[in-house]
């Protein structure tokens, strides 16, 4: 395979990854890394480096559209970003000290959880209790556009959401993904935000999280411009298109199909990691 064909195939796969990642809030990295490692034989650390840069592109493409349309809650995003940035630095530091098979197995397990979160039916579990005291102090309650007009929502369990975001940051730095599954869990289930607000705010946050750990990978030489460029351009295009389709998208069937694909990729990543000598 020549360089041009290699770049075109990676770009095309990245467009699809960015589109699906934008609609589900999981980020394109959950597809990009298996695509590069299993499909093209790229070393997982170089795949992580390229994915982190693409995650920044995803955030730039999708977040701008979400903020403009009124879905993202910037106050929540900036507050939770404190936890994810610290976690991302810790995760990147850890990733450079773990063996490749171990990283592959951890990635596979995280993918399985992402598949479960993605395919599970989403019922709005809004915060109907008294607003969280910290949320009230920081004025986190907000509104988002719905078919019936602007809809108000409250924020619950800010402390729990903050703790989960630290874990999300570690996963992002360790595996080079946006860790959207954990972020959506924190905002959708713990803080009980509307699903579309959780998705949009997750996309708003992942770029800052990725930038924190990408610097470490860059310093160690794991970001290859020739590999990163088609990945970044593809994910940027896909995420921008996905962001435009979010408002009127019927994502139920999409999440189920996406979850099945991610689960199969997870099994392959775990198998490859074990076959690579993790048990030896």
**Cα distance between residue 68 and residue 60, in whole Å:** 12
Short-list 60, 89, 92, 67, CA closest to 207: 60
Q: For residue 54, what are the domain limits?
A: 3-278
Query: What's the whole-number mean pLDDT along residues 143-163?
Result: 83
- Reported pTM: 0.73
Query: What's the whole-number mean pLDDT along residues 187-202?
Result: 80
Structural domain total, the chain: 1
What is the tens place of the pLDDT at every residue in 48-105?
888 888 877 766 666 677 777 777 888 888 898 899 889 888 988 888 888 888 888 8
Burial 58-68, CB ≥16 within 10 A → b, else e:
bbbbbbebbbe
Mean pLDDT of the chain, nearest integer:
79
The answer to whether 13 and 29 are in contact (CB under 8 A) is no
**What are the structure tokens assigned to 125, written together?**
């579990």
């Amino acid at each position: 395979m020549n360089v041009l064909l290699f770049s075109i195939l990676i770009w095309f796969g990245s467009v699809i990854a960015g589109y699906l990642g934008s609609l589900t809030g999981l980020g394109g990295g959950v597809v990009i890394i298996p695509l590069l490692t299993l499909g093209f034989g790229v070393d997982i650390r170089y795949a992580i480096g390229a994915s982190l840069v693409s995650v920044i592109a995803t955030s730039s493409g999708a977040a701008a559209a979400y903020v403009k349309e009124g879905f993202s809650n910037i106050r929540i995003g900036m507050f939770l970003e404190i936890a994810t940035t610290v976690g991302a630095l810790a995760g990147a530091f850890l990733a450079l000290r773990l063996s490749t098979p171990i990283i592959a197995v951890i990635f596979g397990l995280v993918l399985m959880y992402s598949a479960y979160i993605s395919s599970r039916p989403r019922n709005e579990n809004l915060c109907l209790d008294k607003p969280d005291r910290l949320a009230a102090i920081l004025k986190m309650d907000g509104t988002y556009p719905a078919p019936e007009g602007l809809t108000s929502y409250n924020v619950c369990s800010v402390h729990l959401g903050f703790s989960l975001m630290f874990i999300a940051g570690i996963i992002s730095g360790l595996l080079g993904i946006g860790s959207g599954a954990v972020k959506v869990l924190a905002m959708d289930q713990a803080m009980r935000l509307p699903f579309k607000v959780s998705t949009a705010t997750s996309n708003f946050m992942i770029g800052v999280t990725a930038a924190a750990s990408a610097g470490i990978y860059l310093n160690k030489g794991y970001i290859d411009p020739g590999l990163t460029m088609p990945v970044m351009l593809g994910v940027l295009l896909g995420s921008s298109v996905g962001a435009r389709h979010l408002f009127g998208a019927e994502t139920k069937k999409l999440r189920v199909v996406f979850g099945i694909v991610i689960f199969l990729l997870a099994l392959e990543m775990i198998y490859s990691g074990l076959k690579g000598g993790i048990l030896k």
